Chain A
Amino acid sequence: MINERVLNTLIALLLLVVPLFAWQLDEPFIITLATKAAILALAGVGLNLALGYGGLVSFGHATFFGLGGYTMGILASHAQSFTPIMESPFLIDGTKSMPIIWLVAIVISAFVAFIIGLLSLRTTGVYFIMVTLAFGQMLYYFSISWPAYGGEDGLSIYVRNEFPGLNTLDPIQFFGICYVLLMVVIFFMSKLNSSSFGLALNSARQNSERVQTVGISPFRLQLVAFTISGAVTGLAGALFADLNRFISPTMFSWHTSGEIMVFIILGGAARLYGPVAGAAIFILLEHVLGGLSEFWHIFLGAILLLVVLFAKGGLIGSVSKKAASHG
């Protein structure tokens, strides 16, 4: 058994060192893979707050991933065609600035997560899963039937968005941006989880009645957690769109929701670095197994089955004990 903090540090270092080596060896493809892993990990870190810590099995986090992506796509496409998004009642222009895009993606995702949470958190269990899935599918079909931004074909953004002082088209620099964002969000999550909010959320997952008798509303806790969770996954969506310079309705599809969930199950639910480990393994498998066979998902399925049956805490859970947040 390895101490969880040590393991987390190792994972964080590995995710940093691999692309740095690739950069030295001039292997931009590996840097891009690492960037993808970091972004998907971020999406997973978002979902982990709701699913892992809050026990809210959201099967609709693609909603926020897609919203983040489309926020980027819409803002950037208007900026590249020099047409305003709207002129009345007030003028809104597109933008190519990453920080602004991130901020808008976070705000929109948080707002939509709040509304979805408000409705879906009145249900539990399988109904909660279905309500969150329904919202995701609603936006999926909406994005398919919305020709202004590519409809079913998706939408290409020709040049990656800008970040002050950096050349975002250089793979290692863009990786740096994604990695730093991931670390900032993980730091925020670690603080959140050991705060009284995080502890109460954890308690509410175990016994919501007992939480009420100490004066805490589980509904409010879960609503806040779901909102933050959606906002983080939305930010990941915006980065993912920037990585590919392309958005499509697939970002909203339930496959995407499922994949984000798979990162958490592979890596370890309610573990700070669970989604990071999970996303990294997923990318590795996709690359290695995908090279062997087009049907690599079959192998992924088998691995997932083994993890669920024999390593319930995911990768992190099976090699390290849970670290206490105090002491």
Chain B
Amino acid sequence: MKKLCILFRSAPQGTVKGREGLDLALLSASFEQEVSLVFVDEGVLHLLKDQQPELIGGKDYISTFKALPLYDIESVFVCKQSLAEYGLSHGLLSIPVTVVNDEAISAHLKSVDEVLVF
């Protein structure tokens, strides 16, 4: 079993990166890999409540993040500095996450086997 970290740094709408990252995360978890997610920079916008991607022709993969616990993906980290940069507070987020500082993210990237950036 590999420790796989999927890092989201791109905004949710506009590109398919976030959706690809989530698909990979769920698929890897289905194959019993130990998956963790990290949201940084514009990627933190994935976590905002009340998104309606279908309104602009996108698929609503944002709702799928709520299913992470069913896939046994329990480690979900968010960069504290990135949240602050975008003026987001914990209360605006749609799923339970662990807010961590830069050092904790560095340590996490070091501790896993692979990091894939989306």
Chains A and B form a bound pair? no
Using CB atoms and an 8 Å cutoff, list the residues of chain A in contact with chain B: none
